[in-house]
Amino acid sequence: MSKITECYILNGEGSKKETRHIVFDLGDSGLDYKVGDALGVFGENPESTVDLLIETAGWDKDQLVTTQNGKKRLRDALKKDVEIHRVNKKYVNSLSQKISTDGMRITVKLIERYRESVAGNGSAWMGGDTPLEAELLPSIPGDDPTGRVESITADGKAMEDYIWSRDYIDVLRDFDVSYTAEEFIELADRLKPRLYSIASSHDAHPGFVELTVAIVRYSHHGRDRGGLCTVYMADEVEINKSDVGVFMSPTKSFVLPADTSTDIIMVGPGTGIAPFRAFMEQRVHDGGTGKNWLFFGDQSEKTEFYYKDTIEDWMDEGNLYRFTTAWSRDQEEKIYVQHRLKEHGAEVWEWFERGAYFYICGDKTYMAKDVHRALIEIAMEHGGMSLDDATFFIEKTMMREEKRYLRDVY
């Protein structure tokens, strides 16, 4: 158990994002870490959601239930042991066995959605030939609860669409179904910890571990909600008071070069900057001669220049040799880190030829793939390689054999 001692927003005023710097006190836990490691954090569901679920389902909050963590009061179990913020497929699939023939509280929403879809198709509906709702209802597929559950569960996309914006409270409001608390605990997912790339060096901050966290918030069906762990850290935890469950998740591969004279290039847009703040702190502490080049980017320089003062100090003191930014929304066209890498392709290639390590952290789905492609293009353009040779060099030589192209992507 750890305490959060600081949890402040890094974005400037007017930002569309909420990215926080969060500091955990490791106290006398004996936990240790190295740069590149991740911290596992056990979040908890918000009390307000737990209470609303208990009320909507008609359960007794003090009833005893058994979870993976033993026997406890229902309210505690719903707070700490199961994920209640997003409905899972298992629960939706179980609805068909629970539903009574007249059990769905549809009507208005379903009719509205039907109207939108008809209007979107440019059909006669737009011409003002509006059928009465009573005439419309029977023609809507799944307008009986059983039919609707079937239309959701029979089609993978319909299921994804249904669960995307809903939690169990929404489902209980959509369908007139009743589950005992024990049945619910059985169906709901166990609460899983989330991992965060550590943004500090233990040598620079003995006894503490620091994170850079993008808080996930959104609103659906008239209620504000968000990510389980990030909202917990941002809204629920009391500074220096709440006990927060954490563990270390050590890395074997995402490590600094053993030789401190080796140059490194770090690419970390958004929260991807986290491990590179840690790397920089460690490189400063270790005092080697290797040069450091950081590529960072996010939406706007004015609002997303995380750790600006620290970065400027590293530059002033000669610890950060190069710092290249990509502010994606400060101009008409998008500028991303891979564009900057390619602009500096000749120099990046020189660094590679001198044996530099290349690190990337952040979004796995788009950014990491685009940066990977940019590296292959740099090898072609500046190394004079064919596509096959460049791909081999980046993916086999640098990544697998020499292990100097390292990724922490999520």
Ligand X SMILES: Cc1cc2nc3c(=O)[nH]c(=O)nc-3n(C[C@H](O)[C@H](O)[C@H](O)COP(=O)(O)OP(=O)(O)OC[C@H]3O[C@@H](n4cnc5c(N)ncnc54)[C@H](O)[C@@H]3O)c2cc1C
> Which residues contact ligand NAP (rule: CB under 6 A)?
17, 19, 214, 216, 269-272, 297-299, 328-329, 334, 336-338, 362-367, 370, 410
By C-beta, is 145 or 297 nearer to ligand NAP?
297
Shortest CB 118 distance to ligand NAP, Å: 34
Q: In what order do the strands lie in the sheet with 38-41?
A: 194-197, 38-41, 246-249
The option from ligand NAP, ligand X, none interacting with 298 (CB < 5 to 8 A, set by class) reads: ligand NAP
> What track of x and - describes contact with ligand X for positions 85 through 124 (by CB under 6 A)?
x---------------------------------------
Phi then psi dihedrals of residue 56, to 5 deg: -65, -40
Q: 357 with 262: CB under 8 angstroms?
A: yes
> What track of x and - describes contact with ligand X for positions 259 through 278 (by CB under 6 A)?
------------x--x----
Burial of 176 (0-12, 13-18, 19+ CB in 10 A): middle
What is the number of residues in the chain? Answer: 410
Position 38 contacts ligand X (CB under 6 A): yes
**Tokens coding 51:** 């209470």
Q: Can you tell me whether residue 352 is helix, strand or coil?
A: helix
> What's the Cα-to-Cα distance from 230 to each of 26, 215, 216, 237, 355, rounded to whole Å?
19, 5, 6, 10, 38
Task: Give the Cα separation of 145 and 103 in Å (integer).
Answer: 6
By C-beta, is 211 or 267 nearer to ligand X?
211
Radius of gyration of the chain (CA): 26
> What track of x and - describes contact with ligand X for positions 227 through 266 (by CB under 6 A)?
xxxx------------------------------------
Residue in 87, 286, 65, 232 with CA at minimum distance from that of residue 172: 87
By C-beta, is 164 or 312 nearer to ligand X?
164
Shortest CB 328 distance to ligand X, Å: 17
Shortest CB 185 distance to ligand NAP, Å: 27
Shortest CB 254 distance to ligand X, Å: 9
Residue in 266, 310, 295 with CA at minimum distance from that of residue 404: 266
Residue at shortest CB range from ligand X: 227
Which residues contribute to the site for ligand X (CB under 6 A)?
38, 43, 85, 164-165, 194-197, 211-214, 216, 218, 227-230, 271, 274, 410
